[in-house]
Amino acid sequence: MPNRSTDALFQLVKSLEKSEKRNFKLYVKRNSSSENLKTIQLFDALDKMVDYDERVMLQKNKSISKLQLSNIKAQLYKQILSSLRIIRDENNIDIQLHEQMDHARILYNKGLYLQSLKALERLKDMARSFNQITYLQQALFFEKKIEVLYITRSMQNRAEQLGQESDAVNASLTLVNRLSNLSLQLYGWYIQHGHARNEKDLKGLKFFFENSFPPEAPQAKGFYEKLYLYQSYCWFAFIRLDFLQYYRYCQKWVDLFTSYPEMLAVETATYIKGMHNLMGAHFDLLNHEKLGETIKQFEKFARHKLVTQNDNNRILTYQYLYTARINLYFLQGTFNKGLLMVPHLEEMLKEYGLYLDTHRVLIFYYKIACLYFGSGDNEKAIDYLNRIINQRSDLRSDLQCYSRLLHLIAHYELGNFDLLEYLIKSVYRYMAKMENLSKVEEEIFAFLRQSFHVGAHALKPEFEKLLNKLKKYEDNPLERRAFAYLDVISWLESKIHNVNVQDVVRERYFKRRK
C-alpha cells in the first residue's frame, strides 16, 4: 500500500514544487531578521525525509526541542500557505473574489463607503461571470449593511433592488444546497456499499431519491444547479446499474462545460471527474469506439495548462487516464498489453501515494488483478487481490466481496484444492454477512463445492451446465452487479474451450466490430 503519512505538514512540504520551495525560503527570509530560522531548519529536514519519522528528525536537528516542535510546525504550515497564496492568487477565482471582498472591507473600515460599494459592485460582476453565488450572497449582505447604517444616496430604489437581488440569490443557493446534498449523499452511499444489492436496496434508494429531490430542480437554470442535478441523476442511475441513464447524464455533465466555457478554469477538477464518469459509462455499455474517442479527447485535455500547472488536476487526470486505458484493454481483450502499464501504474501509486484515497487505490489493485487473471497469471492476480483483502477499510464492501470471490476462483485455477474448502466457507460466510449473495454467486459456490467430487474428465459438462444457468441471469437487473464486477461468463467459456479469458473476450470484441 502507498505511504499514507497523516502528518499534514509533511504532506504539504512534499507537495511543493522546486519553484514553490524557493519562493517559500525567500518569503520567510524577507519577513524575518534571523538567518538561522528554526522554521527553515524544520522545512529542510522534512524536505529530505522519505517517510515522516518525528524521532529521527529530532535526533538530526538538535536545535529543535520536542517541546518547541508543535509551535514551529504550526508556524511553518502557516508560512508555507502564505507564500503559496502570493504566487497562486492570479489563477484562482476564489482567491481573486476573496481579495475583492478584503478591499471592500478595508475601504469600509476607512469610512470610504461609496468606494466600498464600488468594490462590492466589481466583486458582484465577477461573481456573476463565474456563477459564484456564495460570493454574491456575501456581497449583497455587506451592501445591505452599509445601506442600513449609512445614507449613501448611491441610487434610487436601492432597498427594493437589493431585496430582489437577495431573494433571487438565496433561492438559487437553496436549490444548489439541496441538490449538492443529494448528489453527495448518493455518492457516499456508493462509496460505502457499491451498487444496489437487492430489491430492498433498490426500494430504499428510490424512496430516498424521490423524497430528497427538490420539486423545482427540473427548472434549474444556473451552472451549479444543473451540475448537481446531473450528478444526482448520475449516481442514482449508476448505483442501480442503469448504465444507459448513467451515460446520458454523464454526457450532460461534460456538455455543461461547453455551454459555460468560462467555468472550465473554475471547476477543472469537476470536469475531469465528469470525463472519468463518461469514459466509465462507455465501458459499462461495452462501447469500445466511444471509449477510445473519449480517451483521445481526455489525453488532449491532459496537456492543457489547467492540468499541467495544477498538482491536484494532474494527479486526478493521471488516475483516470490509467483507469480508462485499462478498461479499453478489457473491452478489446488485450490483457497482456494492459499488463505493460502495471510498472508505470505502480510508480504512479508510489509517487502520489500521499494524495491518493484508499478507495481509488483499491480499484487499481482490483483492475490489475483482473488483468493478470484474464491473461492466465493467477499467482500475480492473487498477490494483488490479497492487497485488497488485507486492507482494513469500510469502503466499498462490494469490492471486498468480489475480490474474495475472484481470489477463490484464482486458487481453483491453480488447483490449490487443499485451500479451497476453507476458502469457500470463509468467502461464503463473508458475503452472506454482507448481504451480498446473489443468485449468480450462489450458483458459483454450489459449482465449486461440487467440483471437488468430479473428475477432471467430467468437468467440461459441468462448466457448460453452470454457463447455461448463469446466462439466464444476464438480463436480470438485480443480478447485473455480479457480471459488472466479475466476467464469470468469459471465465466459463475459457474453461470450456481451454483458452485464457482474454482470448474469449478478444473473440467477442471482433464479433462486435463486424
pLDDT of residue 172: 92
pLDDT of residue 447: 81
pLDDT of residue 175: 94
SS3 438: coil
Position 152 confidence tier, pLDDT thresholds 50, 70, 90? low
Residue 83 lies in a domain: yes
C-beta neighbour count of 419 within 10 angstroms: 14
pLDDT of residue 173: 92
Q: Is residue 49 domain-shared with residue 117, that is, in the same domain? A: no
Cell numbers of 229, please?
442535478
**Mean pLDDT, rounded, for 5-23:** 84
Position 157 confidence tier, pLDDT thresholds 50, 70, 90? confident
**Percent of the chain at pLDDT exceeding 90:** 39
pLDDT of residue 258: 95
Report whether pLDDT(30) > 60.
Answer: yes
Please return the burial class of 123, using the count of CB atoms within 10 Å of its CB with bins 0-12, 13-18 and 19+: buried
Q: Is residue 86 domain-shared with residue 102, that is, in the same domain? A: no
Q: Is residue 120 domain-shared with residue 143, that is, in the same domain? A: yes
- Which amino acid does the sequence have at 28? V
Residues sharing a CB contact under 8 Å with residue 365, sequence separation 6 or more, in sequence order: 384, 385, 387, 388
Residue 430 lies in a domain: no
Please return the burial class of 441, using the count of CB atoms within 10 Å of its CB with bins 0-12, 13-18 and 19+: buried
Burial 362-382 (b: 16+ CB within 10 A, else e): bbbbbbbbbbbbbbbbbebbb
Instruction: Give the whole-angstrom CA distance, residue 75 versus residue 88.
Output: 20
pLDDT of residue 243: 92
What does the DSSP 8-state code read for residue 260? S
Pick from 473, 415, 416, 418: which is nearest to 444 by CA?
Answer: 473
Domain count, the chain: 2
Cα dihedral sign for 5, 7, 9, 10? negative
What does the DSSP 8-state code read for residue 415? T
Boundary of a domain, candidates 154, 184, 205: 154
Say what angle helices 501-513 and 311-332 make with each other, to 10 degrees.
Answer: 90
C-beta neighbour count of 197 within 10 angstroms: 19
**Mean pLDDT, rounded, for 488-498:** 86
Contact in structure between 269 and 306 (CB atoms under 8 Å) = no
Q: Is residue 127 domain-shared with residue 86, that is, in the same domain? A: no
Q: Is residue 85 domain-shared with residue 131, that is, in the same domain? A: no
Pick from 88, 73, 92: which is nearest to 130 by CA?
Answer: 92
Pick from 285, 295, 326, 330: which is nearest to 486 by CA?
Answer: 330
pLDDT tens per residue across span 40-49: 888 888 888 8
**Percent of the chain at pLDDT exceeding 70:** 92
pLDDT of residue 200: 87
Cα angle 372, 373, 376; round to 5: 85
Instruction: Give the whole-angstrom CA distance, residue 85 versus residue 416.
Output: 58
| Most confidently modeled range among 13-22, 76-85, 259-268, 473-482 | 259-268
Position 457 confidence tier, pLDDT thresholds 50, 70, 90? low
Report whether pLDDT(151) > 70.
Answer: no
Q: What's the start-to-end Cα distance of the chain, in Å?
A: 42
Residues sharing a CB contact under 8 Å with residue 418, sequence separation 6 or more, in sequence order: none
Pick from 268, 276, 349, 282: which is nearest to 310 by CA?
Answer: 268
Position 4 confidence tier, pLDDT thresholds 50, 70, 90? very low
Q: Say what the pTM is.
A: 0.82
Q: Is residue 97 domain-shared with residue 120, that is, in the same domain? A: yes
Report whether pLDDT(383) > 80.
Answer: yes
- Which amino acid does the sequence have at 27? Y
Residue 338 lies in a domain: no
Contact in structure between 191 and 395 (CB atoms under 8 Å) = yes
Residue 240 lies in a domain: no
Residue 462 lies in a domain: no
Residue 31 lies in a domain: yes
- Which amino acid does the sequence have at 316? L
Contact in structure between 175 and 214 (CB atoms under 8 Å) = yes
Boundary of a domain, candidates 44, 64, 90: 90
Q: Is residue 27 domain-shared with residue 72, that is, in the same domain? A: yes
What does the DSSP 8-state code read for residue 399? H
pLDDT tens per residue across span 191-250: 887 788 788 889 999 999 999 999 999 888 899 999 999 999 999 999 998 999 999 999
Contact in structure between 213 and 233 (CB atoms under 8 Å) = no
pLDDT tens per residue across span 87-146: 755 668 888 898 899 999 999 998 898 899 999 999 999 999 999 999 999 999 999 888
pLDDT of residue 246: 96
Instruction: Give the whole-angstrom CA distance, residue 391 versus residue 363.
Output: 12
Please return the burial class of 112, using the count of CB atoms within 10 Å of its CB with bins 0-12, 13-18 and 19+: middle
Position 162 confidence tier, pLDDT thresholds 50, 70, 90? confident
Boundary of a domain, candidates 46, 67, 90: 90
Instruction: Give the whole-angstrom CA distance, residue 29 versus residue 22.
Output: 11
Q: Hunting for cell 454450489 — which residue is that?
A: 446
Residues sharing a CB contact under 8 Å with residue 133, sequence separation 6 or more, in sequence order: 127, 169, 172, 173, 176, 222, 224
Instruction: Give the whole-angstrom CA distance, residue 253 versus residue 273.
Output: 10
Who has greater pLDDT, 458 or 254? 254
- CA torsion 150-151-154-158 (nearest 10°) is 90
- Which amino acid does the sequence have at 253? W
Average pLDDT, the chain: 86
Instruction: Give the whole-angstrom CA distance, residue 158 versus residue 143.
Output: 10
Contact in structure between 329 and 336 (CB atoms under 8 Å) = no
Pick from 123, 133, 121: which is nearest to 100 by CA?
Answer: 123
Residue 59 lies in a domain: yes
| Most confidently modeled range among 61-75, 291-305, 434-448, 451-465 | 291-305
Q: Which of 351-355, 380-384, 392-396 has the lowest average pLDDT?
A: 392-396
Report whether pLDDT(256) > 90.
Answer: yes
pLDDT of residue 2: 42
Query: Which domain range does residue 117 map to?
Result: 93-154
Instruction: Give the whole-angstrom CA distance, residue 451 versus residue 416.
Output: 13
pLDDT tens per residue across span 342-360: 999 898 888 877 777 788 8
Position 398 confidence tier, pLDDT thresholds 50, 70, 90? confident
What does the DSSP 8-state code read for residue 391? S
pLDDT of residue 35: 45
Q: Hunting for cell 444507459 — which residue is that?
A: 244
Who has greater pLDDT, 312 or 353? 312
Report whether pLDDT(259) > 50.
Answer: yes
Residue 84 lies in a domain: yes
Instruction: Give the whole-angstrom CA distance, residue 398 versus residue 386.
Output: 15
Contact in structure between 69 and 60 (CB atoms under 8 Å) = no
**Mean pLDDT, rounded, for 487-497:** 86
pLDDT of residue 355: 75
Contact in structure between 369 and 398 (CB atoms under 8 Å) = no
Q: Is residue 134 domain-shared with residue 78, that is, in the same domain? A: no
pLDDT of residue 1: 41
